[in-house]
Structure 1
C-alpha cells in the first residue's frame, strides 16, 4: 500500500502537470518538446524520490524477486497440449469376418493461436540432440511406465527396445537405463501414491542431486485404494511444498529460502502427468467400477486443479494433459478403460519434448 507521503507526491504531480498538459495541448509550436520535457521531469522526480520511500522501494524490490510463471494465454507453452485426433477404422482381417482396428493419428491443432507455434513431432536424431547429457526421472504408476516406454522408443531402435521390455515391465518395480551414445540417464521410479513422490523429492533435496527433467504423476491408486479426495488434497499440498523447496527461488511459492549446496541456479524442467479419462463400463474389476466412478474422478481432478501444483494455476509443474489426450482419442484407444494405446503416450512425450524446446532453447543438459 502507498503511504501518505507517496500519495501527496502523486497528487502534487497531478496538480502540477495536468494543467501544464492542458495548456500545452493548445500550444501551436513546440508541443512535442513541451510534453517530452514534462515527462522527463516526472520520471526524474520519481527516480530520485523512490529510495526515500520505503514502501515504494520494497514494492520495486519485491517485483524483482517474484517468480513469474508464464500465464499468458497466447504463450506457446500454454498451447502445447492442443492436440487433435483422427481415429479411423482399418480392416485387419482378410477372412471377411469384419474384424477391424483403428489408426490413431494425432497432430497439433493448426487453427487459432497454436498455428504460429510450429510444434512438431521430433525424429530420433532431434530427440537425441535435445536430451544429450541429461538425467531424466519419470515417477508414478503404470501411466508413467507407459510414458517411459514411449520416450525410449523414440531413442532406441526396435532391437534394443525388445531387449529392455522385460525389465521395464517388472511389476511394481523401478527401472533405470543409461544411453551411452548420448550420455543420457533415465530413471523410472515406481511411485503409485503422491506420498511416494514427496519422499522422492525429499531424497533429491537431502542428496543435493536433481534431474534435468522430472515427470511425475499419481492419483489412480489413491482413488482405488484410499478413495478420499480430501486426503488426496492434503497429499498434493505436501508434494507442492516439497517441490517448491527444491527450486532455486522462493518468494511467491512459500518456500523457506533458496536451495544451497551443489545445486545450480538452473532449476529442473518439471512436468505433471495427468490422469486419463476413465471409462467406467470398461474397467476390468467390480471394485474399480464402484470406486473409480465419474463423480470420484471429477473430485480428484478438481483437487488437483485447486492444489496450485500445476503451472496454469500458479504452480511449478507443466501439465502433460493425458485427460485431454485420452478423451479425444476416445474408447477406441483403450481396452480396459484406464490404460490407453501407445499413441496417447507418444503424443504426451512429444508434448514434453516440444515444451523442453521452448523452455531450454535446445540447451538441455549442456550446462
Structure 2
C-alpha cells in the first residue's frame, strides 16, 4: 500500500513520463500539450477532492502518524485475548505504613501492582502509561465520568496521572466536595474532563438522555452506580429495571457501532472509539468493616449478589453482548484485599489507578495501537 509521499511520486512520474511517451509516438506538439494539460488537471482535481470521499480518506488514514508513539500492532485475535485478560493483575505490599488516606497518591510507596506475565499475557504488552503517553492518547478528547464516590476516586487517579502530584494537590479539595459535580480542562492537551455526581442508576439514564437532547456525546464515557441503590432502595429488581432502561437509551441514542468494537479515529495522534463506553463496577464489600450499622444490615452479601445478577441480566456489559466494557472494581478490590480498605467499601488509590490503566490499555488495544 502506498502512502501520501509514494502517491505524489507516482503522480509526478505520470505527469513527466506520459507526455514524453506520447512525444515518442510522433504526436504533434499541440496534442502532447493537450494530453499533458488533461493529466495535470485530473491529478489536481483528484488530490483536492480525495478528502471528501470516505472510502478513499479511510484508505489514506490507515497509515499510522509518524508523530505517534503508539504504532498499530494488534491483530483481531490478539485484541480479543488481551482484552479478556486485562484485569489479571497482582498487588504487592511493601514494608511500611499502609494507613495513608484513601485519596492520597503517596500510598503507592507502600502498595504496587503489575500485570501477570504468564499464560495468555505473553505478547499483550500491557503497560502503565506515563504522563506523556496518557496525554497523547487522550489528546483533544472529552471524557465524562458519572457515578458515585467510586467514580470520584477513579477521576482522582486519572487526573493524578495526567497532571502529576503537585498540580493534583491544588485541585484535590474541589474534587472531593461531597455530592457535587466537577469540571476541568487541561489546556496543554485540549482535554475536557467532567465528573457528574450520579449515585443512582436512574441518574445515569438522565445523563444519557441529556446527551441525546444536545446531540453531543463525549469521546469516552465512564459510568457506574449501585452502592446507593443497595443502601437507600434495597430493591435489586428495580435496580435491574433501571439498568435495562439505561442500556436501551445507550444503544438507541449514542453513536456506538452494532458490534460495540470500533476503531474510529480520535483527536490527537492515536485512535479512541467515539464514544467509548465503560461501566465502573461496584467494589467488593467487606461487611464487617462497613462504617455504619445501617450499611452492615442492608448491604449484605446476598443483596450484593442479587445486584450483580441484575447487572448481567441487563445486557449492559460487553460480555453480555452489550455496549459497555466492564472496569471490574470488584475483581481488583478483591485481589487487593481488606488491607486496601478502611471502611470495607472505598479502597486505596492503587485499585483505582489500576482501573485507569486498564481503561487506557483497552483504548489502545481496541484502536489497534500498542506502546
Q: TM-score, normalised by structure 1?
A: 0.71
Can you give the 5+ residue segments of structure 2 that lack an aligned partner in the other structure? 1-75, 100-107, 261-272
Q: Secondary structure at the match of 1:221?
A: helix
State the match for 1:196 in structure 2: 203
1:148 lines up with 2:155 in the alignment = yes
State the match for 1:87 in structure 2: 93
State the match for 1:35 in structure 2: none
State the match for 2:215 in structure 1: 208
| Count of matched residue pairs | 276
State the match for 1:295 in structure 2: 302
Q: Deviations over 1:291-329 (max 9, x none)?
A: 001111111111111211000111100000100100000
Q: Deviations over 1:179-203 (max 9, x none)?
A: 0000000000000001110000000
Looking at structure 1, the residues matched to 293 and 130 of structure 2 have their Cα atoms a distance apart, in angstroms, of 42
Contact 2:78–2:124, Cα closer than 8 Å, also in 1: no
- In the TM superposition, residue 157 of structure 1 has moved relative to its aligned partner by 2.7
Q: Whose relative contact order is higher, 1 or 2, with alpha carbons under 8 Å and at least 6 apart?
A: 2
State the match for 2:315 in structure 1: 308
Equivalent residue for 2:232, pick from 225, 228, 233 = 225
Q: Secondary structure at the match of 1:110?
A: coil
Q: Deviations over 1:51-83 (max 9, x none)?
A: xxxxxxxxxxxxxxxxxxx89995212221121
Looking at structure 1, the residues matched to 150 and 175 of structure 2 have their Cα atoms a distance apart, in angstroms, of 13
- In the TM superposition, residue 160 of structure 1 has moved relative to its aligned partner by 1.6
Q: TM-score, normalised by structure 2?
A: 0.70
Residues 362 and 180 of structure 1: CA distance in aligned 2, closer, same or farther (over 3 Å): farther
1:276 lines up with 2:313 in the alignment = no
Q: Secondary structure at the match of 2:253?
A: coil
Looking at structure 2, the residues matched to 129 and 238 of structure 1 have their Cα atoms a distance apart, in angstroms, of 35
Q: Secondary structure at the match of 2:96?
A: strand
State the match for 1:183 in structure 2: 190
State the match for 2:141 in structure 1: 134
State the match for 1:331 in structure 2: 338
State the match for 2:81 in structure 1: 75
Q: Secondary structure at the match of 1:116?
A: coil
Looking at structure 1, the residues matched to 326 and 177 of structure 2 have their Cα atoms a distance apart, in angstroms, of 27
Can you give the 5+ residue segments of structure 1 that lack an aligned partner in the other structure? 1-69, 94-100, 254-265
Q: Secondary structure at the match of 1:204?
A: helix
- In the TM superposition, residue 225 of structure 1 has moved relative to its aligned partner by 0.1
Looking at structure 2, the residues matched to 354 and 177 of structure 1 have their Cα atoms a distance apart, in angstroms, of 23
State the match for 1:111 in structure 2: 118
105-114 or 233-242, which deviates more: 105-114
Contact 1:109–1:115, Cα closer than 8 Å, also in 2: no
Question: Aligned-residue CA RMSD in angstroms?
Answer: 2.5
Looking at structure 2, the residues matched to 92 and 287 of structure 1 have their Cα atoms a distance apart, in angstroms, of 27
Q: Deviations over 1:151-176 (max 9, x none)?
A: 00001132221111111111100000
Q: How does 1:164-175 map to 2 (within 5 A)?
A: 164-175=171-182
State the match for 1:17 in structure 2: none
- In the TM superposition, residue 360 of structure 1 has moved relative to its aligned partner by 2.6
Contact 1:102–1:332, Cα closer than 8 Å, also in 2: no
Contact 2:218–2:274, Cα closer than 8 Å, also in 1: no
Looking at structure 2, the residues matched to 164 and 345 of structure 1 have their Cα atoms a distance apart, in angstroms, of 18
Residues 346 and 296 of structure 1: CA distance in aligned 2, closer, same or farther (over 3 Å): same
Q: Secondary structure at the match of 1:196?
A: helix
Residues 160 and 250 of structure 1: CA distance in aligned 2, closer, same or farther (over 3 Å): closer
Q: Deviations over 1:204-229 (max 9, x none)?
A: 01101000000000000000000011
Contact 1:89–1:102, Cα closer than 8 Å, also in 2: no
Residues 281 and 241 of structure 1: CA distance in aligned 2, closer, same or farther (over 3 Å): same
State the match for 1:159 in structure 2: 166
Q: Secondary structure at the match of 1:248?
A: coil
State the match for 1:122 in structure 2: 129
